[in-house]
Amino acid sequence: ISVTVMNPSGVWLNGAVSQMFHLMAVVCLACVVLKAIQLYWRKRKLLKIFKSFPGPPTHWLYGHLQMLQQEDELDNTASWAEKYPHCHPVWLGGFLVFLWINHPEYAKAVYIGSDLTSSFALCSSIGQGLLILNGPKWFQHRRLLTPGFHYDILKSYVTMMADSVHVMLDKWEQLITQEKSVELFEHVSLMTLDSIMKSAFSYQSNCQTDRSVPGDEQGEGWGSEGGGEWKGRGVEGAGLGCPQSLLLVPFRDDFGKMTYTTMCIKETLRLYPPVPAIARELSAPVTFVDGRTLPKGLTTCLYYSLQVFDPLRFSPENSAERHSYAFLPFAAGPRNCIGQQFAMNEMKVALALTLLRFEFSPDPAKPPIKIPQAILRSKNGIHLHLKKLQ
């Protein structure tokens, strides 16, 4: 590289600039070499750590990324779990590795021996909520929020949840056609948003009925099928005025009696965990039941498994025999899901009220395609045929 400078000392300046560029090139090269050496040692160290943990074959540069980015990712991970029933390494590229946990005893060791950092705090920047906070601030917030999720407080939310469900079901009644299935995911998402806004923030968002509500990104999604009609219709009118709402008074205390419904919900959460993978950073070395150890680092617990739908596995007798770390859709340990009872209540209310009004059957032409992002969802939505019960 040469730069010409038009002044009497031009020759000298030209040489100095060229020397500077040479120096910069040497520094850059040194940095690249240093980084390459660092990566080499890191890879050697990781290979040594994970020597006693056999796993699926891996590409030297991509690791298992190619298999994880395919549409059948969950089937891949489930087949890995069958082959390595305790745990196995998963490489995200050539230099980043997680231990994928498949066995409850291993999950227990990780939850007990890990830091209190949540997986979301490890990998995202979505604000400053409890989910993201760490250290003393997390502890303080968690302690402040816990009373808000007390059984009695949650009970008082049931009527509001039912209101939101009724608004959703009213919309479905308008969308039913004999031959066309209905995409339900967006409706259910809006219903849960509506319900949490009302119960946690005492805010009537009307997000299910008002197309202009900010945050309703779908906009046209449901609106195109008659959304305008919903605008301005009060939640009260749609929900409490309906005869089924009379059921709510006994309903509120009947959660404990909904044993089979609860079993179905748990079995669904086991087969399709909304949070399909959880990462935990080890704050100290962990020794597993078989004597293998792992030093400080990242570890992932995955709960997705392909098995037969069988709610009876959650009957009291069968549950008594199960390992306490075998069913963890809400995680475990101090950073478990603070909203799990809220969520269970909401699912029971929604399921019970929905089944009072509709019969469902899947649309064979549009089966859901599972994609595990931060949450497990269907790439093409959830299409079901609805039939109104008389």
Annotated binding-site ranges: 337
Residue recorded with tokens 């209310």? 349
Nearer to ligand HEM, 58 or 300 (CB): 300
> Least distance to ligand HEM from the beta carbon of 91, Å?
21
Nearer to ligand HEM, 97 or 332 (CB): 332
| Residues 43, 31: Cα–Cα separation, whole Å | 18
Burial of 171 (0-12, 13-18, 19+ CB in 10 A): buried
How many CB atoms within 10 Å of residue 194?
26
Instruction: Give the footprint of ligand HEM on this chain (CB under 6 A).
Output: 118-120, 130-131, 142, 196, 274-275, 278, 329-331, 335, 337-339, 342-343
Q: Of 79, 131, 85, which Cα lies nearest the Cα of 275?
A: 131
Nearer to ligand HEM, 14 or 261 (CB): 261
Nearer to ligand HEM, 235 or 347 (CB): 347
Sort strands 277-282 and 182-183 into parallel, antiparallel or unpaired. unpaired
Q: Which residues pair with 383 in a beta bridge?
A: 183
> Least distance to ligand HEM from the beta carbon of 373, Å?
14
CA-to-CA separations, 347 to 180, 258, 267, 285, 341, in angstroms, rounded: 26, 11, 13, 38, 10
Nearer to ligand HEM, 164 or 181 (CB): 164
C-beta of residue 149 within 8 angstroms of C-beta of residue 338: yes
Nearer to ligand HEM, 239 or 329 (CB): 329
Nearer to ligand HEM, 17 or 145 (CB): 145
> Least distance to ligand HEM from the beta carbon of 68, Å?
18
Per DSSP, the residues of 261-280 read HHHHHHHHHHHS-SS-EEEE
- What residue is closest to ligand HEM based on CB? 339
> Least distance to ligand HEM from the beta carbon of 258, Å?
16
Q: Which positions make up the binding site for heme? A: 337
Q: Of 192, 115, 212, 179, which Cα lies nearest the Cα of 363?
A: 179
C-beta of residue 132 within 8 angstroms of C-beta of residue 323: no
Tell me the backbone φ, ψ of residue 74, rounded to 5 degrees.
-65, -35
Which H or E element spans position 229? none
Nearer to ligand HEM, 166 or 335 (CB): 335
CA-to-CA separations, 158 to 199, 314, 354, in angstroms, rounded: 9, 24, 15
> Least distance to ligand HEM from the beta carbon of 130, Å?
4
| Residues 157, 196: Cα–Cα separation, whole Å | 9
> Least distance to ligand HEM from the beta carbon of 127, Å?
11
> Least distance to ligand HEM from the beta carbon of 321, Å?
23
Q: Which residues pair with 302 in a beta bridge?
A: 277
> Least distance to ligand HEM from the beta carbon of 340, Å?
6
3-state secondary structure of 203: coil
